[in-house]
Amino acid sequence: MNSENLLLLLILLPFAGSALAALLPANARNTEAWLSGCITITAFAIVVYLYPSISAGEILRNEIEWLPGSDLNFTLRMDGFAWMFSILVTGIGFLVVLYARYYMSPEDPVPRFFSFLLAFAGAMQGIVISGNLILLAIFWELTSIFSFLLIGYWHHNTAARDGARMSLIVTGTGGLCLLAGLVLLGYITDSYDLDHVLAAGNTIREHELYVPVLVLILLGALTKSAQFPFHFWLPNAMAAPTPVSAYLHSATMVKAGVFLLTRLWPVLSGTDEWFLLLGLAGMSSLLLSAYFAIFQQDLKGLLAYSTISHLGLITTLLSFGSPLAAVAAIFHMLNHATFKASLFMAAGIIDHEAGTRDMRKLSGLFSFMPITATLAMVASAAMAGVPLLNGFLSKEMFFSETLGQHSGSVLDSVLPYAATLAGAFSVTYSIRFIHTVFFGPKPLGLPREPHEPPHWMRRPIEFLVLACLIIGIVPGITIGPYLHTAVTSVLREYTPLYSLAVWHGINTPLIMSMTALIGGALLYLMLQNYLAQSEDGPPGIRQLKGQRIFERSLVTLSWRWARWMEDTFGTQRLQPQLFLVIFIALIAGCWPFLGTDPAFNLESTTGMDPAFAVLWGIGIACALGAAYQAKYHRLAALILMGGAGLVTCITFVWFSAPDLAVTQLLVEIVTTVLILLGLRWLPKRMEQIDDATTLIARTRRLRDFVLAVSCGGGMTLIAYTIMTNAELPETIAGFFLERAYSEGGGSNVVNVILVDFRGFDTFGEITVLGIVALTVYALLRRFRPAPDSIEIPEQQRIQNDFDDRHPNRKVGETVHDYLMVPAVLMQWMFPFIILLAVYFFLRGHDLPGGGFAAGITLAIGLLLQYLASDTRWVEDRLRILPVRWIGLGLLLAALTGMGSWLFGFPFLTSHSTYLEIPLIGKIPVATALFFDLGVLLLVVGATALMLIAIAHQSIRSHRARAIESAKTQEDD
């Protein structure tokens, strides 16, 4: 397989695995682990396989056209740096899966866990190897979403829910800023392609939009990498299962921010703004979080703050803008991932075996779990920067970089001291982690008796710690070449000379390291007793929590201000809303005519057909009558509206639009029944309206009347002008008329437009229709009628009383008698109506009809059965599952659209041909027919769902009444 397809496979494999994992049964812990393990190890193997070409300096690309017109392609691109990150994502992904197999308890619903984890791995891989800025932003947001889902995995836990929500809001908002920044970047360089952007460094730095771009991208990167002042979400994300913390919140996702900064380092860095913004964020994160980490009582909390601090170190290195600092940053990303992931896993083991993560309770665990303890010691020594471990190497590089000149300001002289101080803090919290947990007296009152974990749960840690050791002792021959590949792919011709040796002689960085080690150890000795008792959080500013500030501002923004807005500008009453809508529509309608001389060319029509004139008179009278009666005589208004609708249909026929007339007529019938169904539940007429006679009320009514008349009159005027004016500019109609048959294979132009030329629009419309139907259904499920319409209707009461009074009649017999003949007719009409629907459907492509008309016809047929007898009778005999019809229709339409992909055409390309059928002969068939069938199914489902949902209200109210009366009888 060639490397382009392998790149695609790297993305597809985890997502496919995720879909598969979601389908497995809830207790399939081993199968899930095997599946996820196989997928991650295969991805790892693919990445390793690609190394030869990567190390040769090649950039692998796979470009799939997506929206080439907007320069938005599904471009995958792997260079040395992306390769290094892919190794992290897939390799640590595999170790985490292995670890999670033993960490997750049999009671946990593991399919959800592994499914999200694999999907996250796919999204993260996507960030790493996307070669298009917009694609990168999409994968970026995907990781935020999966991080949200994984943090909230134990959603019965409040802390998990809150932490998940906070991380989503912070990283999601950052992601939006990032998207804006990337779009601006694309605007500056005229392309979203990463290679183009990377080649345009000078253009970007000199552009006037450089600062906005920088700020937006930094917002995205700093929120993702939990840098000060957006760091607070990471400690709260620790409510996630530990494998998630090890994978997302130390090794990969939080590194996405620094990954992006490194990726764009060649084009964005080197300016004062870059140094100041990034340097300040990085240094504050480095120093403050290291300080906070010392005072955490939760093991994972300590590790989380330490992660922020180490990411701050990387950010600070990147801010310097010198190539050597960038080398150190890339190296530290790798080192941090190895030791921090292993430390998180160790913390998970301690939590798992001892039952708590509180360092005030843990103590002297060394005798219970010596191997885990040793591993954790080595890993935290790497975190502290002890020589002969990988953390030492990159920290040493960091110290030597802080000594250089950067902006020439006071920051330069402060930097080395701040760096040493942060180093000392990290030594303190590393010692604390080890000393509190593993040494000291035996623990008292632990929830569980601690012991060593299963072998395989420890293997990932052993592997990672071994990596720390080997890299730390012989960096040059182990990690050296890989690091060099990564570094050269980022820095290209600016790659500096650097050496990865452990011993550089006695120099300033070494002295700084030693100072930090000794100072940190002394600081721990001083604080030891205080820490054993103290509360969670650093002294003095314990009250000042980022979390609380965040929640306060969230409440203010989304609750107080929102309520204020609603109270000030909102209204519950329909009249003002309608008034505003129509008023604004009127202004918008008049806007184009402002300042111009509106020359309405009102030609008088001559030679009008007398029958037609009478007809229109009828339509106008109906419409006016409906408007006049609407307030007090709803039924009369509805009947008159039916008349107006009918006249409209005849007008369509008269003007040679039979297809429109067919559809309109069917819609007219359904609408009448729909409104009638609703009429039953409307509140009764208010006999007395208090302010009917006051002056204000009369003025208001006059105002509304004037508004309504001017709006309606304006509409009439515009429509009349357009229709009577022959000299219109050429419209799109000609295009469709010409091509409907030659390209769409149908002579019913409207239908061809709907299912072929504008198939995508129709697809969107039927989706909306399905959503609307489901919403109506959902709303009506909880519908509570007004008190005055709960009563059984008067007519039914009288008829039931009549049945009751006569000893040889059952209740309901009257209506049955009345409906005897019509019901039989209506039931016998059913097959005929189905036939009519089939007829409309089949010939829809060439003559009036089509999926929509056929769907409504079928729905009317169903409706008729409900009318003929009662709901129970129909549903005993005919099981209608409208939701399935909707789903099936949508699926069929989508599949038809996707079918054209198989032949290499864009979505929803239609194909038409002639089919030879025995006895019938040649008939035209277009693939659009299947699409139309989807439309039909959906329309039937949606119409039936809405009508039946309203119809079921009656049954529900009957049932409620029955229960009520049973209760009162019991009480009596």
Partner 1 sequence: MSAAILSWAVTIAQIALAIAMALALVRMIKGPRAQDRVLGLDALYGNAMLLMLVFGIRTGNSLYFETSLIIGALGFVATVALAKFLMRGEVIE
Task: List contacts with partner 1 (CB under 8 A).
Answer: 609-612, 614-615, 617-618, 621-622, 625, 635-636, 638-640, 642-643, 646, 649-650, 653-654, 658, 661-662, 665-666, 668-669, 672-673, 676-677, 679-680, 792-796, 799, 815, 818, 822, 826, 829, 832-833, 836, 847-848, 857, 860, 863-864, 866-867, 870-871, 947, 950-951, 954-955, 958
Nearer to partner 1 among residue 237 and residue 650 (C-beta): 650
Rounded to whole angstroms, how far apart are CA atoms 98 and 460?
Answer: 7
User: In this structure, what DSSP letter does residue 130 have?
Assistant: B
Min dist CB 634 to partner 1, Å, is 11
Nearer to partner 1 among residue 648 and residue 710 (C-beta): 648
Min dist CB 619 to partner 1, Å, is 9
Nearer to partner 1 among residue 411 and residue 667 (C-beta): 667
Q: How far is CA 870 from the centre of its chain?
A: 43
C-alpha distances out from residue 941 to 43, 702, 866, Å:
43, 44, 15
| 67: β partners | 72
Nearer to partner 1 among residue 501 and residue 679 (C-beta): 679
**For helices 133-151 and 158-189, angle between their N-to-C axes, nearest 10 degrees:** 180
Helix spans in 50-109 (H): 51-55, 80-103
Nearer to partner 1 among residue 456 and residue 873 (C-beta): 873
**Token pair belonging to 924:** 């035209």
Residues 104-129 as b/e (b if ≥16 CB within 10 A, e otherwise) read beeebebbbbbbbbbbbbbbbbbbbb
Indicate the helix (H) or strand (E) that contains 273: helix 272-294
Contact of 174 with 224, CB cutoff 8 Å: yes
Min dist CB 621 to partner 1, Å, is 6
**Token pair belonging to 434:** 């080890």
Nearer to partner 1 among residue 320 and residue 866 (C-beta): 866
Rounded to whole angstroms, how far apart are CA atoms 483 and 755?
Answer: 55
Min dist CB 814 to partner 1, Å, is 10
Nearer to partner 1 among residue 794 and residue 876 (C-beta): 794
Contact of 945 with 773, CB cutoff 8 Å: yes
Tell me whether residue 611 is exposed, middle or buried, using C-beta atoms within 10 angstroms of its C-beta: 0 to 12, 13 to 18, 19 or more: exposed
Nearer to partner 1 among residue 288 and residue 661 (C-beta): 661
Listed in sequence order, the residues at least 6 apart from 166 whose beta carbon sits closer than 8 Å to its beta carbon are 232, 233, 236, 237, 547, 550
Min dist CB 853 to partner 1, Å, is 9
Min dist CB 857 to partner 1, Å, is 7
Nearer to partner 1 among residue 527 and residue 627 (C-beta): 627
Nearer to partner 1 among residue 412 and residue 870 (C-beta): 870
Min dist CB 954 to partner 1, Å, is 5
Coil/strand/helix, residue 65: strand
Min dist CB 835 to partner 1, Å, is 10
Min dist CB 770 to partner 1, Å, is 22
Listed in sequence order, the residues at least 6 apart from 18 whose beta carbon sits closer than 8 Å to its beta carbon are 114, 115, 116, 118, 119, 122
Nearer to partner 1 among residue 521 and residue 838 (C-beta): 838
Min dist CB 611 to partner 1, Å, is 4
Nearer to partner 1 among residue 560 and residue 877 (C-beta): 877
Contact of 521 with 426, CB cutoff 8 Å: no
Min dist CB 673 to partner 1, Å, is 5
Rounded to whole angstroms, how far apart are CA atoms 828 and 765?
Answer: 34
Min dist CB 804 to partner 1, Å, is 16
Minimal CA–CA distance to 352: which of 427, 435, 430, 246?
A: 246
Residues 885-899 as b/e (b if ≥16 CB within 10 A, e otherwise) read bbebbbebbbebbeb
Nearer to partner 1 among residue 383 and residue 856 (C-beta): 856
Rounded to whole angstroms, how far apart are CA atoms 20 and 29?
Answer: 14
Contact of 753 with 908, CB cutoff 8 Å: no
| 912: β partners | 926
The residue behind tokens 């190895």 is 338
Contact of 856 with 670, CB cutoff 8 Å: yes
Min dist CB 645 to partner 1, Å, is 10
Rounded to whole angstroms, how far apart are CA atoms 869 and 6?
Answer: 63
Q: What angle do CA 563, 567, 569 make, to 5 degrees?
A: 110
Min dist CB 845 to partner 1, Å, is 15
Nearer to partner 1 among residue 636 and residue 925 (C-beta): 636
Residues 696-733 as b/e (b if ≥16 CB within 10 A, e otherwise) read eeeeeeeeeeebeeeeeeeeeeeeeeeeeeeeeeeeee
